[in-house]
Amino acid sequence: MPELPEVETTRRGIERLIVGKTVRQVVIRQHALRQPVPADLPYLLQGQDVVAVRRRAKYLLLETPAGSVLIHLGMSGNLRVVPQETPLKKHDHLDLVLSDGKVLRYHDPRRFGLVLWAGNQPLMHPLLARLGPEPLEDDFDGAWLHRCARNRRLAVKAFLMDQKVVVGVGNIYASEALFMAGIHPARAAGKISAQRYQRLADAVKRVLFNSLEEGGTTLRDFSGADGRPGYFSQSLQVYGRSGEPCAACGRPVLSMVIGQRSSFYCNHCQR
């Protein structure tokens, strides 16, 4: 489900509703996520105050004085803050019951997500320690991409989705950014000029920022903490638009499989 804009939209949505609240109770209904939800999570969390909600890459970090909870939404996860009496739906796997009677509820049909305990140095957690730069920060730029791509022969789209290269770019925004930059998704990463990588870095920043402004992309079931959908799907130029006319030249948008993922592009505008 979520790439950076959807995770950040979720973070902003839950932040003001849970920071300053105390975790009264932790209810785990399903331990079997991508990794098991730690059995001692209730013991670690109960009575703790939520002091911050942070994001690193596509991970959310709920910070308490005792340590941080590390949450990943996988393909189909979401987090909502709902009244305690809200009826349970299928795949509502975990609740944090808060001191104001509200509940932070984790829902994830496919269970590709994660809820883990990351202690007091969460950025040192193995899942976070080796990630690449945040795309919206200044240390991510064309020079960084160009340097990372040296001698690499994989397709630039798969390269861009490598979380060691840059975090937060998934299957939707990889296609969108490459379209915006005029780069063919199957081009070998190591055969793209520094100048074109500058265009790509700028495109990544723009497409993610623009999506964030629209509350992310809702294709199926994504919605923010309040249940509202994101509207960026209306702004997608190529993703999911096979056969439709390219917004720039009118030729049909094509699709191909790169790294086992559907990729969308215009064969005329992207070289």
Give me the active site residues, please. Answer: 2-3, 58, 261
Does 154 bind DNA (CB under 7 A)? Our answer is: yes
Sequence-distant (6+) residues with CB within 8 A of 19 are 50, 51, 52, 53
Question: Among the candidate windows 43-51, 63-71, 94-102, 259-267, which touches DNA by CB under 7 A?
Answer: 259-267
Contact track, DNA, 72-101, x by CB under 7 A: x-xxx-------------xx----------
Instruction: Name the 3-class secondary structure at 121.
Output: coil
Dihedral of CA atoms 29, 32, 37, 42 in degrees, nearest 10, equals 20
Q: What's at 172, amino acid-wise? A: I
Structure-token match 């490459």, residue found: 178
φ/ψ of residue 158, rounded to 5: -65, -35
Subset of residues 7 to 46 that bind DNA, contact rule: CB under 7 A: 32, 34
Among 16, 147, 153, 191, binds DNA (CB under 7 A): 153
Spatial distance between the Cα atoms of 56 and 67, rounded to a whole number of angstroms: 16
| Residues 161-200 interacting with DNA (rule: CB under 7 A) | 161, 163, 170-172, 189-190
The window from 15-23, 44-52, 218-226, 245-253 that contacts DNA (CB under 7 A) reads 218-226
Query: Does 251 contact DNA by CB under 7 A?
Result: no
Q: Does residue number 142 form part of the binding site for DNA (CB under 7 A)?
A: no
Rounded to whole angstroms, the maximal C-alpha distance in the chain is 59
CB of 46 to DNA, least distance (A): 28
Q: Is 160 in the site for DNA (CB under 7 A)?
A: no
Alpha-carbon gap, residue 11 to 19, rounded angstroms: 11
Q: Which helix (H) or strand (E) holds 197?
A: helix 194-213
- One residue of 17, 216, 236, 238 binding DNA per CB under 7 A: 216
Q: Does 58 bind DNA (CB under 7 A)?
A: yes
Report if residue 112 touches DNA, rule: CB under 7 A. Answer: yes
Q: What is the DSSP string of 7-42?
A: HHHHHHHHHHHHTT-BEEEEEES--BSSSBPPTTHH
Could you list the residues that contact DNA (CB under 7 A)? 1-3, 6, 32, 34, 57-58, 72, 74-76, 90-91, 109-112, 127, 151-155, 158, 161, 163, 170-172, 189-190, 216-222, 230, 259-262
